[in-house]
Structure 1
């Protein structure tokens, strides 16, 4: 079949598990909250993203889309989106220069609003395309790494428009970061290696919401999990949940599988690589390919065997030890697998869609900075998801409501 037909089937399959976003798209088609607005987006070009693009387009937006990671782009989905009228500038496997050229092409739309996943589009706006900044009145950021960069921009008073931190909602951190990242990361690792995790030592670098999800899934498969952290509170949390906590310098010698989930660079460095076992597997689940020092791995290797398995490269060191790098050090869940299940992205992208509509309405009143998603949006997404799955919850009685809002009633 041609690419467009294949992409259409992928999108239709994803939409089956995305009832909340589908309902929001139908509402947008009636209310048209984005009429006349141009949106430039830098997101993973997947079937789930296509459902989001459909909802925003139903709301009246004109959209240009670039990829936030060239290895996650699904070319058939990109082609199907073009037939929907979305200007897609993305192709699987492009080099760094082409990746940024695609972002530049998406910005040529002259956006009113921007959607980002990792802050590369916003960064390009503030460095290379400053001519477009006066027309941009707001944006949304999807991932932890991007929020870190945006908050630094805001602290330095460099950010020129308001950005909603979609990543920081309770529903996204719980459902997407914890359960989605946990499942999809191990899915990618097992597709790439066919490794058995039971009885193996898995080192998880970072115990935020994503790292917690990875650790839980690995433990559930029978692995012994070691956590590395720089945050004392998170390290204590990991300890109290039964995980062994060590610095990476110690964990490097005992791990069979290393998974980085920090949002920072050089988490696994040359001195760690030099201490690892023969056959150790290296995987990154952080947004950018900087968490594992791949250049150091190249320098240590005397031979490199590309593609020993899908998305798996073998690095042979001078003493004969072999280290296996997955997905070139990029996001393993989106490179070696298909990313989060559609049911997970239903909630994340529903929050994104509602945040875009809120931003379109409120953007003129907001000063430049990073804003939390309004709590009512988070609750609406959770309520809609429960309704879609047929789950009911209790509601407060009048007496309970009064009790919670009064300080005069004692014990």
Structure 2
């Protein structure tokens, strides 16, 4: 029979111990060690356990908890410990059989109830302790967003993002201290937002697009003019076809080799929740453009690195997908293929005859799909219109099995 859990993680709300189930309250009241933030300790002030604050740096939390093993240890978290909260982080480091979770209503559930919104019809996001810009990827017409913020100034920053993209008419509501005696609500629109709000708050946004609003779908294929570029980038139609072969998935990691303006890595991260990308680009000016594009398009965690391939690939975490848009060689292809995780996707594009010859040879060795993508655009020809062809792109793609 397995041992009983030694660590309890208890969600607590603004109503403190009174809001806990009898079982969860007993766990807290009989604790020998209580770990949490100042707010959590204030909400459980009647308990006589030894108090431990969040460690600094926070990464030391797991080591701190393990040092108390053998005692009755309780971690206090806000709301649901496994919903954008500390419980998930602890659970990745300590086996789940050693932990008992005691969830409380989350801020998302409380906010949805206050707004009268269905949880099934909205996006739940957090920018608490994370780059605020990552919410930009979720600005869509008629989308409803619930956002855990990172401070009193966060709603105003988000209002500015909305307004700049043509969503200034979007209603915004800040909810603070939900479930407690000091619960407060602040309503306004993105364009007219001028409230001073408590630092600990949840933001509700009902996205309303103006006729001239920027349309930034999470489906790959953003228009080229949304990216700052020196002209060296994977163009819209080819980029959409490339990402279809790369298959973005939740939490998956992409190596974007020869990332240039970062367009492929950015669209990869926008297309799936928690998707990650490492962009490898030897030119500093292009890395600067990619970083600017990542901030503007809601992927501030795009990891840009200086280096030339294949040497720059050594030591990187194993990818779920690799795109070779620059620096193509047989050595780079082989190194990327070897590093790919099982079921990983590899896509390489070429526009020159020399690079196309490399892809033809690689296709003969490894198989996969070898295709040529040609795009023509209608452009003025005097007073008429005609088709102007872009350079065709040869693409090799395969799945590692």
Q: TM-score, normalised on structure 2?
A: 0.32
Larger relative contact order (C-alpha < 8 A, sep ≥ 6)?
1
Larger radius of gyration: 2
TM-score by length of 1: 0.31
Q: Greater helix share, 1 or 2?
A: 1
